[in-house]
Amino acid sequence: MKKTITIVGAGPGLGNHIARKFGTEGFKVILMARNATKLAHYVTELTSEGIDAEYQTIDVSSDDSIKSSFNEAKNKYGRIDVMVYNVAMMQANRPLELTASELLTHYQTDVAGALTAAQQVIPMQKEAHAGTLLFTGGGFASFPAATNTTMSLDKAALHNLTMILAQALKSDGIFSGIVTITGQIGQDEHFSPANIAEKYWQLYTQRESNEVIYE
C-alpha cells in the first residue's frame, strides 16, 4: 500500500520540492496551504510528472482549521505516514517595536500550529507503531538576530519542540526530525530547494540523528 505524506506549507519553493522528492519515491502527496487555486495548480504540475498528488486547504493560524483539515485528509486518504511542517511568518521585527499580541500571532503559526498538526497524525502513527514528523528549522535558532525577533524565538522553540517529540515518541516507533537551514533558500545553487529537500528524505530514511544542519 502506498504511503502518504502531508506537506503543511506547500508552495513553489521548498514545500513543493519536498513533495516532489517523496512523490518520486512512491509516496502519495497531500499539499496543504491556504490558497486552493494555487494548490490546484501545484497538484496539476506534480501530476504531470507522474506523482500521485492531492491538496487540502488549511489555515495554520487557527487550531480549528488545522484539526478540520487533517480530519478531512484522514477520512479521504487514511493514515498519514509522514507529516512535514514547513511554515513560518517571514517578517523582520525588532523586540522594542513588537507587541505581545504580535509575538503570539507569530508563535501560533510558527510553533503552536506545528504541535497541533503533529497531534493530528500521532494517534494513527502510534497505532501503526510507525511514523515520521519533519519540521523546517532555521539558523536563527542558534544565531538570534535583533532584526528578526519572532523568527529567532520561534525557530528556537520549534527546534526544542522537535526534540521533545523525539523523546516522547521514540518508544512508539515515531521519528521526529528537523532540517535547520542556515542560509536563505534559493540564494544560490547550494541552497536550492531541490538540494535542501534531499535532507528531508535523508532524515526519513536514515534516522541517525534528529537534526540535519544545512549550511
Average pLDDT along the chain, 215 residues, taken 10 residues at a time: 95 97 98 98 98 97 97 95 95 94 97 98 97 97 95 97 98 98 93 97 96 97
Residues 6+ apart with CB under 8 A from 170: none
The pLDDT of residue 110: 97
Per-residue b/e over 104-132, b at no fewer than 16 CB within 10 Å?
eebbbbbbbbbbbbbebbbeebeeeeebb
The pLDDT of residue 99: 96
Quote the cell numbers at residue 69.
483539515
- Decide which of 3.40.190.10, 3.40.50.720, 3.40.50.12280, 2.20.25.160 is the CATH code for 4-214: 3.40.50.720
Angle of CA points 119, 125, 129, to nearest 5°: 140
The pLDDT of residue 209: 96
Q: Where are the domains of the chain?
A: 4-214
- CA 116, CA 113: separation in Å to the nearest integer? 5
The pLDDT of residue 1: 82
